[in-house]
Structure 1
Amino acid sequence: MKFTVCIPVLLLLFQIVKCLLPPKFQWKVIEFAWDESAREAALASGAYVPENNMPAGIARWKQKLFITIPRWKKGVPASLNYININGNQSQELNPYPSWEDAFVSNKACCVASNKTVVSAFRVHVDKCDRLWVVDNGVADMSTGVKQIGPPVILIFDLNSDELLHRYEFKDEELRDSSVLTGLDVEMSGKGCGDAFAYIPDMGSNAMIVYSMKQNDAWRVECPFFHFDPLSNVYRVGGVEFYWNDGVSSAVLVPSKRTSGHRDLYFHPTSSTKQFRIATKLLKDKYVPKEYIFSGAEVVGDRGLLSQATAADFDPINNVMFYAQLSRNGVSCWNTEKPLDEENSPLILSDCTVLEFPNDIKVDHEGNLWILSNRQSRFLYESMDHNEVNFRILSAPTSRLIQGTACEKMSTIDRALSFVKRPKSK
């Protein structure tokens, strides 16, 4: 299989990306804001192994930037953390909501409290100032899975740092191979109490839907949640690997349908295609399976080597952003246009700065945040901890898409595009 040669295009796109350099935050290894002599004790006990900490998810709320560290290996003291967005470039991470709640030792048999997050990949901040976390509850994922706590959803009040709600998944909602990668949250009505969370189960090819009002969850299965066998080969950071990863990204987009519900756009990691389904179907726990299959549709294809880990939507410009592994960069797509290779250009790419872009988020102020973490080296080879391995970049979305096929459309162009694009079911 042929792979593209990684040629940095930062110079070619200088007008677009100059606001991104240098990275806003970067680390050789992750350090934590330890209390007094706690760091030395954690090092001695093995509760903290610096080289085993790899950040994987981000989300911004006001002056805080949340950073998750899944427990791939031993020695991760806290999975859910935050930094100050106005702090220094390599600042220490603060466990959330506190050290007491977040800390998990290598010998732990269970969680310290209902606020403890054992292992989370990606998190979500909603418009009600709440942090949603999906915790897989496991440690040592790459060496021998150890179940510390049950898989749960945790919802925190970011104004008080208090736990608002905790939902423990039932056995019938998951499978032995389940890996819950993140979530997006839809508000129903004007209040904050009626919310639905859509949670990709990458490991067992399903979407878990959670209703906050009903305090219930259910499993939705569909062939489109499975990986594409033609897109499961990767080469990132000089490492070749094979992933059969199913659906890993769920992004809510305003629907052009008249139902009043939104569309959920989703894609497996090992795929280049984009899919969508009306959330009206997903919100019905008892909807027939054939309705799910007929209601899900292929939106388009981003093109060769465009496998994406995470995606997020910018409602100001109606643009979806994708973190693309095999191309060491970020692409975009204006959802008012047909999805094809021409309309989903690679707008950022750099072999070093964006090696393995793992998460991507659009904040409430219209800024794009990108996390790269060299995950292929971390999992399958080794990292050089004398050089920068983890980077977080940020820039206004409008500036990033300027002069590209993703730029906001005029009224005339929008009308012409609507005539040309296929109708939604």
Structure 2
Amino acid sequence: MAYLFIPLIILFLFHHAVTLIPPKFQWKTMDFAWKGSERESAITNGSYVPVHNMPTGLARWKDKLFITIPRWKTGIPASLNYVYLNGTQDAPLHPYPNWQEGCLAQNGSVVSNRTVVSTFRVNVDKCDRLWVVDNGVSDMSMDVKQVTQPSVLVFNLKTDELIKKFVLDENVLRDSSVLTSIAVEIVGKNCAKSYAYITDMGSNAIIVYSMDDNDAWRVENHYFHFDPHAGVYKVGGIDFYWSDGVSSGTLSQPKKDGYCDLYLHPTSSTKQFRMSTRLLRNKDAPKEDIFNGVEIIGDRGPNSQATSCDIDPSTNVLFYTQVCKNGLGCWNLNKQFNDANTPLILSDCNLMEFPNDVKADREGNLWILSDRQSRFLYEAMDFDQVNFRVLTAPTATLIQGTACEKRSFFSRISDTMVKVR
């Protein structure tokens, strides 16, 4: 028995040492790649207020890591930005697609059709396209101003060209709409036949956008609403209450029927849901089918509210943030959803205080953004400390030795033989 105990300790130390790796990026305040005296001028005229910039989303494409900063307050130069992966830990942000079009004009208006006003999270697809859902508002915490209509923007990342911009209208939006994330399904080998699934956290709906049809429609379900029993949070020593609805969704690989499953959850909930895109793609799907079309997979347990999730195609594992636990959970889609198969694989009250977004890239790496959002919204932050971090590690390393790991055929046979004996 003692011989078995030693390797178990080694495995535990190896696995949990992942949280101790230095962050790939970290910032006390978010700063930008200004030229000359532009920074001082921006601070003077109020277009840049360093302590008002808080990142919420990320996505990797080749040598770029996109970082989003919603316009919570005034003084945000650009909402959609990127850093170079080979940069320093406190690498400055570059507005996307460029300085001129990535920022608002002095009077607060958009400069061009490619200007993104305010976005929470973005998505990079396998066709080298960047999908952005723009809420179009500024100064969300005070005097909310609708700068432009909410819209979906699709960029060609190889050329930075705007491929498509689709304006979302009152048919799919509500006065309380807050668009938080976007998942993209590509049908077949034709990149043009794509569907975007946008979570409307504020009015509890999924907005479906068909690029091929250049059309959008709204899907509602009672499971998209928050759970009153899961609205209490405590993060960074701060207690708060949120009634946020569906805020994040991620897609499985296509199934035999040609459709994917959209795995989704409200922020203020501990339950995981699933819905086939067979229903979501059908604009005229009967309401009864929509009502019965969302499946409860299981419950993650107490204090397991999640802001974001993503599926790593290389391991078929769903990763999700664990806000109240300052950590990251996972679930292998090939296994039953239960306590044993949904472990907390990372947790660090310093490095991962308020994990806000998680993304798997196409090279088997996971990217996690933590941003101390509860302090930013409800209490003054200490900007002499590091507040914002990006952590990254190979997905296979993160799940090694956990219930999320894909087990080999031989290990399963070995376990079966042990049970028989």
> What is the alpha-carbon distance in structure 2 between the residues aligned to residue 289 and residue 41 of structure 1?
54
Q: Is residue 146 of structure 2 the alignment partner of residue 150 of structure 1?
A: no
1:343-362 correspondence runs (5 A): 343-362=341-360
Contact 1:47 / 1:105 at 8 angstroms: preserved in 2? no
Greater mean alpha carbon deviation, residues 56-65 or residues 36-45: 36-45
Whole-Å Cα distance in 1 between the matches of residues 272 and 128 of structure 2? 29
Partner of residue 367, structure 2: 369
Q: TM-score, normalized by length of structure 1?
A: 0.92
Q: Which residue of 2 aligns with 1:291?
A: 289
User: Structure 1 CA distance, aligned partners of 2:379 and 2:12?
Assistant: 31
Supply the distance in 1 between the matched residues of 2:102 and 2:12 (Cα, whole angstroms): 41
CA distance in 1, matches of 2:12, 2:306: 21
1:394 corresponds to 2:392: yes
**Residue 249 (structure 2) aligns with:** 250
Tell me what 2:118 maps to.
Answer: 119
Deviations 1:310-350 (A, max 9, x none): 00001221110011100000011111111122211100001
Cα separation, 1, equivalents of 2:237 and 2:73: 22
Aligned partners of 2:230, 2:162: CA distance in 1, in Å? 40
User: Is 1:347–1:401's contact at 8 Å kept on the other side of the alignment?
Assistant: yes
CA-to-partner distance for each residue in 1:235-257, whole Å, 9 max, x for gaps? Answer: 0001111000000111101355x
CA contact (8 A) 2:18 2:398 kept: no
**CA–CA separation in structure 1 for the residues paired with 2:307 and 2:407:** 27
Distance 2:382 2:12 in 1: 29
Q: CA deviation at 1:410?
A: 3.4
Structure 1 range deviating more: 14-23 or 200-209: 14-23
Instruction: Report the Cα distance in structure 1 between the residues aligned to 2:66 and 2:13, rounded to whole angstroms.
Output: 29
* 2:201 counterpart letter in structure 1: M
Matched, 1:264 2:262: yes
- Any residues of structure 2 matched to 1:20-419 within 5 Å, and which? 20=19, 21-104=21-104, 107-108=107-108, 110-254=109-253, 258-411=256-409
The amino acid across from 1:136 in the alignment is N
The question of whether the paired residues in 2 share the 8 Å contact of 1:324 and 1:331 is answered with yes
- Identity percentage of aligned residues: 60
**CA–CA distance in 2 between the matches of 1:406 and 1:19?**
16
Q: Quick one: distance in 2 between partners of 1:413 and 1:250?
A: 32
Task: Please give the secondary structure, in 1, of the residue aligned with 2:101.
Answer: helix
Deviations 1:331-389 (A, max 9, x none): 11111111122211100001110000000000010000000000000001110000000
- Unaligned 5+ segments in structure 1 are 1-10, 416-425
What's the CA shift for 1:14? Answer: 3.7
Output the amino acid matched with 1:180. L
2-structure distance, mates of 1:409, 1:255:
22
Where 2:171 maps in the other structure, the secondary structure is: helix
CA distance in 2, matches of 1:345, 1:107: 49
Q: Secondary structure at the match of 2:308?
A: strand
Q: For the residues of structure 1 that align with 2:101 and 2:12, how far apart are their CA atoms?
A: 44
- C-alpha distance in 2 between matches for 1:190 and 1:105: 39
Letter in 2 for 1:271: S
Q: Is the 8 A contact 1:118 1:135 kept in 2?
A: yes
Query: For residue 66 of structure 1, what is the amino acid of its counterpart?
Result: F
Structure 2: gaps of 5 or more residues: 1-9, 414-421
SS in 1 for 2:259: coil
SS at match of 1:224: helix
SS of the residue aligned with 1:114? coil
Q: How far apart in 1 are the matches of 2:246 and 2:163?
A: 28
Name the TM-score, length of structure 2 as normaliser: 0.93
Q: Which runs of 4+ in 1 moved over 6 A?
A: 412-415
Distance 2:330 2:88 in 1: 29
Distance 1:147 1:106, change over 3 A: farther
- Report deviation, 1:86: 1.1
Q: What displacement does 1:409 show?
A: 2.9
Q: CA-atom RMSD, angstroms?
A: 1.6
C-alpha displacement of 1:65? 0.2
Contact 1:303 1:340 in 2 (8 A): no
In structure 2, give the amino acid aligned to 1:65: L
Bigger shift: 12-21 or 318-327? 12-21
